[in-house]
């Protein structure tokens, strides 16, 4: 079995450790031969934490200099889990060194940078995978199947939001997520990009948008407990109207200060023959209404995830036995390794990442211009 030697950058952070945990588990869940992940090297600027992470996941070595990862002769796959502004430079150098690249979302701060990365990856013939893990959720894949097989008829209207209250507390200090040079945007790129990736998979290309935003907590302490404050630069809340190329009209939003909402990634898709709604806080339930079912028992039915849906069957043999967030990441790692070792196809490549970045940018432009903006190709 082929070994896939992984070099992780930003490995001591939240999602960097989730990546390592999922690479550890992918082989235990999936039986196909998609290669053996080998923990070659981990990098982070926080030396104390990266040493702990090296020991926790048994990486062969660690470094505080990320360039050692992208040039390492014994690294096949560079795994980028750093704040957004670093993705472009890191992915570019990794690609130029002929590495396969797995990069967290959003891919870069602009669609132009993302498209450039997509072009280099194509020239080099390497795997280029953006971590839009909600695409791997069997529920979202089943909804895509329902829409694409015409079960819902012509899609007419879409509503969706991705809300959390993780940043509701005004006492939380300023962080990279609040500053545009590091994050590019606020809730839009951080949360809403996940929802946009799923709607892109289900509905195809978006045509135009018109948005508004709100910064509700305009400044935050410079550090925990400090009386000195720093200005928050990007959207706590974003909301926009959109039109898809298939004619459906949409109202989409996101908030990182949505009181009481913990991981409310919710959407409803209405068609001429049926409607589906989904909420990630109830990951294992899809709500489906089909016009054909009309009669004395009309109404939405709750469809529990089961082995007919995506890769659910790799985890559980029977319907309704719940799967969770890290399982989506495990499916993602499985697909990534399958692309790398067996040449399998995947949706979430850098060109796909560039499309989501182009939507984010059009929303930001429309907020400034106060008018409709086209999604640039």
Ligand X SMILES: NC(=O)c1ccc[n+]([C@@H]2O[C@H](COP(=O)([O-])OP(=O)(O)OC[C@H]3O[C@@H](n4cnc5c(N)ncnc54)[C@H](O)[C@@H]3O)[C@@H](O)[C@H]2O)c1
Stretch that binds ligand X, among 76-84, 135-143, 221-229, 268-276 (CB under 6 A): 76-84
Stretch that binds ligand X, among 80-88, 117-125, 344-352, 365-373 (CB under 6 A): 80-88
Per CB under 6 A, 70 contacts ligand X: no
Cβ distance to ligand X smaller for residue 82 or 255: 82
| Closer of 10 and 274 to ligand X (Cβ) | 10
Distances in whole angstroms, Cα of residue 29 to Cα of each of 32, 34, 75, 102, 326: 9, 12, 24, 20, 12
Rounded to whole angstroms, the Cα distance separating 316 from 322 reads 8
Nearer to ligand X, 136 or 143 (CB): 136
Binding of ligand X by 83 (CB under 6 A) = yes
| The binder of ligand X chosen from 44, 79, 311, 373 (CB under 6 A) | 44
C-alpha distance across the termini of the chain, in Å: 40
Whether a cis peptide bond, with omega within 30° of 0, leads into 106 is yes
Among 14, 28, 224, 296, the residue binding ligand X under the rule CB under 6 A is 14
If one asks whether residue 43 binds ligand X (CB under 6 A), the answer comes out as yes
Taking the complex as a whole, the smallest distance from the CB of residue 151 to ligand X amounts, in Å, to 28
Question: Which region among 39-47, 246-254, 259-267, 365-373 touches ligand X (by CB under 6 A)?
Answer: 39-47
Residue 45 engages ligand X in binding (rule: CB under 6 A): yes
Q: Closest residue to ligand X, Cβ-based?
A: 13
| 131 touching ligand X, by CB under 6 A | yes
Stretch that binds ligand X, among 13-21, 151-159, 311-319, 342-350 (CB under 6 A): 13-21
| Residue with Cβ nearer ligand X (13 or 138) | 13
Site for ligand X in 172-231 (CB under 6 A): 190
User: Does residue 97 belong to the site contacting ligand X (CB under 6 A)?
Assistant: no
Taking the complex as a whole, the smallest distance from the CB of residue 332 to ligand X amounts, in Å, to: 9
Among 13, 37, 160, 186, binds ligand X (CB under 6 A): 13
Query: SS3 sequence, the chain?
Result: CCEEEEEEECCCCHHHHHHHHHHHHHHHHCCCCCCEEEEEEEECCCHHHHHHHHHHHCCCEEECCCHHHHCCCCCCEEEECCCHHHHHHHHHHHHHCCCEEEECCCCCCCHHHHHHHHHHHHHHCCCEEECCHHHHCHHHHHHHHHHHCCCCCCEEEEEEEEECCCCCCCCCCCCHHHCHHHHCCCHHHHHHHHHHHHHHHHHCCEEEEEEEEECCCCEEECCCCCCCEEECCCCCEEEEEEEECCCCEEEEEEECCCCCCCCEEEEEEEECCEEEEEEHHHCCEEEEEEHHHCCCCCCCEEEECCCCCCCHHHCCCCCCCCCCHHHHHHHHHHHHHHHHHHCCCCCCEHHHHHHHHHHHHHHHHHHHHCCCEECCC
Query: For ligand X, which residue of 86, 95, 252, 258 counts as binding (CB under 6 A)?
Result: 86
- Binds ligand X (CB under 6 A): choice among 77, 81, 303, 363: 81
Give the binding-site size for ligand X (rule: CB under 6 A): 22
Site string for ligand X, 230-249 (x = CB under 6 A): --------------------
Task: For residue 125, give every residue at least 6 positions away whose Cβ sits within 8 Å of its Cβ, in sequence order, or none.
Answer: none
Residue 53, interface with ligand X (CB under 6 A)?
no
* Part of the chain binding ligand X (CB under 6 A), chosen from 4-12, 166-174, 268-276, 315-323: 4-12
Binding of ligand X by 10 (CB under 6 A) = yes
> Applying CB under 6 A, does 163 fall inside the site for ligand X?
no
> Which residues contribute to the site for ligand X (CB under 6 A)?
9-10, 12-16, 43-46, 66, 81-84, 86, 104-105, 131, 133, 190
């Amino acid at each position: 079995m082929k070994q896939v030697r992984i070099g992780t950058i930003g490995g001591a952070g939240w999602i960097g450790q989730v990546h390592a945990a999922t690479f550890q588990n992918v082989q235990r869940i999936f039986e196909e031969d998609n290669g053996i992940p080998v923990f070659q090297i981990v990098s982070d600027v926080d030396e104390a934490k990266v040493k702990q992470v090296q020991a926790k996941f048994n990486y062969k070595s660690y470094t505080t200099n990320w360039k050692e990862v992208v040039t390492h002769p014994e690294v096949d796959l560079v795994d980028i889990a750093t704040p957004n502004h670093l993705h472009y430079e890191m992915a570019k150098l990794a690609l130029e060194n002929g590495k396969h690249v797995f990069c967290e979302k959003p891919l870069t701060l602009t669609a132009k940078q993302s498209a450039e990365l997509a072009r280099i990856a194509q020239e080099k013939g390497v795997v280029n995978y953006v971590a839009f893990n909600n695409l791997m959720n069997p529920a979202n894949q089943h909804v895509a199947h329902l829409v694409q097989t015409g079960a819902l008829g012509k899609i007419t209207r879409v509503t969706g939001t991705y809300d959390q209250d993780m940043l509701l507390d005004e006492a939380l200090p300023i962080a990279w997520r609040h500053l545009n040079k590091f994050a590019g945007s606020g809730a839009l790129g951080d949360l809403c990009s996940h929802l946009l990736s799923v709607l892109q998979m289900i509905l195809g290309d978006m045509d135009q948008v018109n948005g508004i935003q709100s910064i509700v907590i305009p400044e935050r302490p410079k550090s925990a407990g400090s009386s000195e404050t720093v200005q928050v630069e990007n959207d706590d809340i974003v909301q926009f109207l959109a039109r898809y190329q298939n004619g459906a009209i949409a109202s989409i939003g996101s908030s990182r200060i949505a009181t009481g909402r913990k991981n409310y990634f919710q959407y409803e898709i209405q068609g001429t023959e049926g409607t589906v709604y989904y909420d990630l806080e109830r990951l294992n339930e899809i709500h489906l209404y089909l016009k054909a079912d009309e009669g004395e028992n009309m109404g939405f039915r709750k469809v529990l995830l089961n082995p007919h849906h995506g890769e659910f069957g790799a985890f559980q043999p029977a319907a309704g036995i719940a799967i969770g967030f890290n399982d989506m990441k495990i499916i993602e790692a499985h697909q990534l390794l399958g692309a790398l070792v067996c040449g399998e196809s995947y949706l979430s490549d850098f060109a796909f990442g560039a499309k989501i970045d182009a939507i984010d940018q059009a929303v930001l432009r429309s907020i400034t211009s106060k008018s409709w903006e086209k999604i640039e190709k």
